Structure 1
């Protein structure tokens, strides 16, 4: 075991869970044992919530201009420790080192946005009547919780940590039990940056902790990122207990390719979107809709896909179960009549034979009723469906229940605007394979890709992590008595 046993982080200290139950943490790269993660229980969560609740009064009353200084320092520490943090992400998640570096760089950008929050929540003040002023202020909610997935061990936690804490909340975070190491290192850096004890707490575990978070009476809001199936459960349970909840689910992102698309650029972007992070991201290209005569572009995609080499510029998928599930999708599509142009099944990487690898896979002549066309595969696989018109392609995109992202590859501005106006997705790309908005623009999809109001990052997140306090003030006795008195 390369690392020591994972511990919870409560009130500024790493502590053993109250339970002895644990799971092995295995590196997808080579199958080696990295650590063990505790399966904490509701009592462990209660300790973390009590620590957060005790810290809330002082932290929330600290001026935001003072709170934000912690995150200026935290941003600096992320930059100084970038290589170490990226290596840790790579080990526990299986992505390439280059992808892991990009993940930490995005965490830095998210923190940089949080450092701008004092300028964005100045509130409003207006003299509404002679001698009478009305004021609006943003105030923190209290103790909040963040439940994060395996596919971005550092970036997704930083979707919520800097904003929620800078805005004055105290947090309990539940990392994925598959990748528990990065959040522990984040906790250390936050403490080094000067974050007071109790403001940030980590409780490890499985669905037991997720359920306990949804039920805990002292948690005011819950954010969740994961599958749509679990997002629905979390949203229902949290809101049933009168909490705010923002639950981000899965996706089935469609790339619409028109005949006038630039072949080289399109092929490179489609391939990168499909295979980046081994396809384990909710913004990955999962389905391509070929509109009209685009065989020359499909041929180029095959060429580009064959340049993606498992164990080199393509990372591992998270587990053997994931590998088996993805390969079954490919086999089922082939059995149903689809044509495999590039086959990523049965891959073994020399020297990493116990790792979990799927090669890039391109499947043509997929039809909308096939499972691979409808369900989230979460691997380096793209399914190509064919239509004659752009409206037929949009009908396929809009028929899928998800709504994270959609992209169109074209040089026609009118066609691009038609997709922007008519695609049922929260994030749209024009000649962009992964249309993730950069800060301060927010991240969030539509339909069954998101449950709750607002987005999880950017300016939109302010509304989720705060509530408005309205005050009306009269100091001038000459104002007299009127209906506002």
Structure 2
């Protein structure tokens, strides 16, 4: 059985720890690797390695750090399909979905290549007579990233390339459910020329995370995951005087106006609701139909009923399995609760059974669609994180905006309309960080920042883009005054007037 290595002080080593976690293929739940959980001593070694490396790495010119990112980007592109295949094998994602996961991470590395420009400070001459003020942007030190299972390429690449490009060193603790992809990313980063200790990768669960959160050498923590864990990490990190950014849960709404293009709406809602088995924080899990558009729900349900889950290399598969039996059981429980609470289950994926005999023990759930959903129902209040779409109906745009704004989450939302006025009203009044107009999943490209609001995010500065640079750096401001009388009077100083 393959044992997953750690990366500590530039060396890929197998931990001797007897505490292990099984890494399984979600399509059949067969074990594909064994993950040793790092000991406290190994975690301390990783932190010490990152601390020692920081002292030299912070002095490397930004242009040289950018060249490491350039080489890394080239390697990621060269190994793109290989990484996607590995990612599919441990997450169950379809190959096209896995390729998108890898590519969105590569785009962030491309942004990190621009670090010399993003690290520029500010200057002002003569802020007072003979006095100039200027600022520098300098790295923090050792940073920590804790990443989830659903995007094992993209989300680690949200974090350590930007942090390292800024001059920091980094400790990555990837999800214990799919660690093989992050280890491949680390292997290529070392190949790109990253000095030892600049990136360390450690493994484990809650105990390992809690140990790192209180380590005094770690200056900043980045996290993506569930709300309860996000709240715990944010509180623990800040209580220990660390900077923290924690991306948590979501309940993303798509508002459909009567003047929207019907076919465009239906096609977009299918992919946005059940793509990646609904296991993404930007999935559309609530469709809000305004006015007569509620008549479209039956047609939407018919389209979703035709979507078939399948294996990662099946080109006809709409999406893959859920990540674990526990995740499947939770989704099935919520589907049942929706029925019990009175929602109308138009499409029920609870009993989906894949045709391939060898994969019937996998974590399969078919597309599920509810109508007549109300705000007091658990399927509306909780993030289901599965291929389940809740349909609601309101009479006006104002009611739709009020509905979305009452929701405690604020990660993403979209509106489908042909009216510029309606679109502007929605984007202006909605209390959500990322808004799509005729775009179902409005994830920003990396030169902008990923900006969830409310209970979808804990912190002040967001991932990638300019805000990531601010998160991973401190600003030093210098106010300088030089006296002209000292020019001629200083030792061995002369002025030529020629």
User: When the two structures are superposed, what TM-score results if normalisation uses the length of structure 2?
Assistant: 0.94
Equivalent positions of 1:13-52 (< 5 A) are 13-17=11-15, 19-52=17-50
The aligned residue for residue 220 of structure 1 is 219
Aligned residue for 1:289, secondary structure, equals: strand
The answer as to 2:119 corresponding to 1:121 is yes
Residue aligned with 1:73, SS: helix
Give the Å deviation of 1:173.
Answer: 0.6
CA offset digits 1:321-379 (Å, max 9, x no partner): 11111111111111221111121112221222121111111111111100001100001
Greater displacement, 239-248 / 8-17: 8-17
Does structure 1 retain, via aligned residues, the 8 Å contact 2:410–2:456? yes
How large is the Cα RMSD of the aligned pairs? 1.4
Counterpart contact for 2:294–2:393, Cα < 8 Å: no
For residue 158 of structure 1, report the CA deviation from its aligned partner: 0.4
Identify which of 54, 57, 79 aligns with 2:55: 57
1:470 paired with 2:483, answer no
Aligned pairs for 1:60-459 (under 5 A) are: 60-128=58-126, 129-311=128-310, 312-351=317-356, 352-459=359-466
* Secondary structure of residue in 2 paired with 1:25: strand
Tell me which residue corresponds to 1:483.
none
Q: Residues of 2 paired with 1:472 and 1:373: CA distance?
A: 54
User: For the Cα contact (< 8 Å) 2:84–2:102, is it kept in 1?
Assistant: yes
> How many Å separate the matches in 2 of 1:15 and 1:307?
46
Larger radius of gyration: 2
Using the TM superposition, give the Cα deviation of residue 19 of structure 1 relative to its aligned residue in structure 2, in angstroms. 2.4
How far off is 1:38 after superposition?
1.4
8 Å contact kept, 1:264–1:300: no
CA shift for structure 1 position 476: 3.8
Aligned residues: 478
My pick for the range that moved more, 256-265 or 9-18, is 9-18
**Alignment check: 8 A CA contact 1:130 1:479 kept:** no
Deviation at 1:303, TM superposition (A): 3.2
Secondary structure of 2:455's aligned partner:
helix
CA contact (8 A) 1:248 1:444 kept: no
Residues of 2 paired with 1:265 and 1:301: CA distance? Answer: 11
2 CA distance for matches of 1:253 and 1:280? 13
Contact 2:277 2:320 in 1 (8 A): yes
Checking the alignment, whether the CA contact within 8 Å between 1:132 and 1:479 is kept in structure 2 is no
Deviation at 1:306, TM superposition (A): 2.7
User: 2:249 and 2:393 mapped to 1: Cα distance?
Assistant: 24
Deviations 1:384-440 (A, max 9, x none): 111112222222211111110111111122111121112111001111110111120
Q: Distance in 2 between matches of 1:297 and 1:460?
A: 40
Distance 1:307 1:418 in 2: 35
| Cα distance in structure 2, aligned partners of 1:452 and 1:252 | 19
Aligned counterparts of 1:244 and 1:457: Cα–Cα separation in 2: 16
Task: Give 1:280 deviation, angstroms.
Answer: 0.4
User: How far apart are 1:307 and its partner, in Å?
Assistant: 3.3
Q: Secondary structure at the match of 1:383?
A: strand
Distance 2:85 2:44 in 1: 32
| 1:131 shift after superposition | 4.4
Partner of 2:218, secondary structure, is coil
Per-residue deviation, 1:473: 3.1
Separation in 2, partners of 1:478, 1:171: 48
Provide the residue aligned with 2:8 in structure 1: 10
Alignment partners' CA distance in 1, 2:132 and 2:250: 47
In 1, distance between residues paired with 2:476 and 2:419?
48
CA drift at 1:208: 0.8
